[in-house]
Amino acid sequence: DTGVSQDPRHKITKRGQNVTFRCDPISEHNRLYWYRQTLGQGPEFLTYFQNEAQLEKSRLLSDRFSAERPKGSFSTLEIQRTEQGDSAMYLCASSLSSDTQYFGPGTRLTVL
Amino acid sequence: AQSVTQLGSHVSVSEGALVLLRCNYSSSVPPYLFWYVQYPNQGLQLLLKYTSAATLVKGINGFEAEFKKSETSFHLTKPSAHMSDAAEYFCAVNPGDGGSNYKLTFGKGTLLTVNP
């Protein structure tokens, strides 16, 4: 069990650029979640996958955001035309069905 | 729908003193409840969880929490604080067996400071 990994750990970009983050869940975990955490707040749910199917998206996930989980393994979260308000920590978690969610170290995005 | 309220955004204790971090929840179905800890610039680590078994739950690093349905509370305690406990603590809830989506709803967090 190598844990949930996320790449990159830090990303600095200019407003208007596109960014993509990757999450590798714990192997055999069928559920994968994305959360966003802004300074001084708890994580907020963005979206989740069961295997390769994206089953729910938060209203926080505007049309500039897209997430995929091809073949039910790793997942990517893409943000197009980044805005300063997108600056946050993006956290990925995985679980085996309804069991405990295990979190990765997060990707900290800074939009200048 | 679920929600979590953590009373006190910042708690300061002396090393060796009791730690008490408060969490109240609201849930329309029997909840599962969790406490996570976050160290600076890191992800969240699970401390303990309640999933409708024993109401007193023991976790890692000497922490425990008690589920009180009548008070809709799930407060986190540790008898004796250690310097290494300094971190941010998050209480979270999900619908447990009552829902089809196990997304977590988090409180805003409590920053624990431990003074020597």
Give the range among B10-14, B26-30, B34-38, B110-114 with minimum mean pLDDT: B26-30
Cβ neighbors of A84 (< 8 A, separation 6 or more) are A15, A111, A112
- Is residue A111 predicted with pLDDT exceeding 70? yes
Q: Mind listing the pLDDT tens digit for each residue in A31-45?
A: 999 999 998 899 999
**Residues of B near A (CB-CB distance < 8 A)?**
4, 9, 34, 36, 41-46, 49, 90, 92, 96-97, 101-109
- Is residue B116 predicted with pLDDT exceeding 80? yes
Minimal-distance CA residue of chain B relative to A10: B41
pLDDT at B98: 52
Q: Count CB pairs under 8 A between chains A and B.
A: 56
Q: Mind listing the pLDDT tens digit for each residue in A43-71?
A: 999 999 999 999 888 988 889 999 999 98
pLDDT at A56: 87
Q: How many Cβ atoms sit within 10 Å of the Cβ of residue B111?
A: 16
Tell which of B5, B10, B103 to mutate to test the A interface (max A CBs under 10 Å): B103
Give the one of B49, B97, B109 whose C-beta lies nearest to A100's C-beta: B49
Closest CA to B77 of B51, B53, B52, B59: B59
Torsion angle of alpha carbons A96, A100, B3, A78, nearest 10°? -60
- Between chains, do A40 and B108 touch, taking CB under 8 Å as contact? yes
Cβ neighbors of A112 (< 8 A, separation 6 or more) are A12, A13, A14, A15, A84
Nearest-Cα distance to chain A for B45, in Å, is 7
Closest CA to B95 of A56, A73, A14: A56
Nearest-Cα distance to chain B for A98, in Å, is 6
- Between chains, do A40 and B34 touch, taking CB under 8 Å as contact? no
